[in-house]
Amino acid sequence: MFVIRLLATCAFTLVIGQQVFAQNEATPVSTLGPHLAASQAPTAGVESQITFNSVHVEGPYIAMTFDDGPSKALTPKLLDLLAAHHIKATFFVIGENAADHPEILKRAVAEGHEIANHSWSHPNLGKMSDEAVRRELRKTDETISAAIGVRATLFRPPYGSITPRQKHWIHDEFGYRIIIWDVDPLDWKRPGASVVCNRIVKEARAGSIILSHDIHPGTIEAMPATFDQLQAKGFKFVTVTELLAMARPLPPKPATTPRSPAPTPAGSAHGSPAPGVSNG
C-alpha cells in the first residue's frame, strides 16, 4: 500500500511540473526585469517632457527669454537693467554672435543668467537635413562650452520651426529640452517700446515663457516699464531651467454632476413657454 501511494504521489508531481514548465515556456520572462517592459510600452506625455511652451506652477513665477544675441551694443545694457531689477533671465544665443562676444556670455553667467542654444546662423531647421541641423547645433554647443565652461541644456529652434521627429532626435542626441514660448510681443516687428511692454504685461501668466529679442533697441527701451509692471503684479522672475523644475501636474478637473431638468413652468404644457417667456 505504501509503495502504491508513493508511486501515485510521484506521478502527480511529474504532471504538475510539466504544466508549470509549459506555462513558463509560453510566457518568457525578460532577464532585464520590468524596465524593459516599461521602455517598450508607449509612454503618455513624452512630448510634454521634451517641449515646453509654458508650465503649470504653484506661484507667480515666469521666465523672461531673449533671443538672437549677444549684441555688443544692446545686451550689456539689458544686463544692467536686469541687475537693477534683480531679475534672472535666459539668453538663447546665436552661435555666430556668441563666438564674436564670449565676454558677454561670461558676464551673463556670472550675474546668474542662463545661456541656451538658438542655432549657429538662425536658419529654418524644419526645412533642413538632419546633418545640417546637427552642424548648427554642435557648433553653437561648442562655442557656448568654450565661453562659459558648461554645456547648454536648452534649445530653441529659430522661428519655432521644428518637426516632431527633429524634437526627439535632438533631445536624444544632445540632451536638450526644446523651449518655445506662450507670450510673444512681436518685438522683432519693432512696434515701439510701449506696445512691446503692453503686450507682455497683458499676456503674462504664472508659468509663462516670454519671448523677446536683445538685438532690437525698442525691446531694450521697453524693458524698464515691463519689469516694473510685471513686478507690480506680483510676478517673480526665474530662468527657464528653474521654471521647469517648478512644474507641477495640472490639477484634475472637478467632476460635473448632471443637472436635473428644470421643472415645467405652471401653465406651460409640453415645454411651451410660460407667460412672459420668449422663444427667441
Measure the CA dihedral 91/96/99/100, to 10°. Answer: -100
Catalytic residue among 67, 68, 141, 187: 67
Gap between the Cα atoms of 175 and 251, Å rounded:
28
Rg (CA), the chain: 30
With the C-alpha atoms ordered 155, 145, 119, 66, is the resulting torsion angle positive or negative?
positive
How far separated are the first and last CA of the chain, in Å rounded? 96
Respond yes or no: is residue 187 known to be catalytic. no
Q: Hey, which residues does 236 pair with through a beta bridge?
A: 61
Respond yes or no: is residue 67 known to be catalytic. yes
Nearest residue to 93 (alpha-carbon basis) of 176, 215, 187: 215
Catalytic residue among 101, 113, 213, 216: 213
Just list the catalytic residues.
67, 213
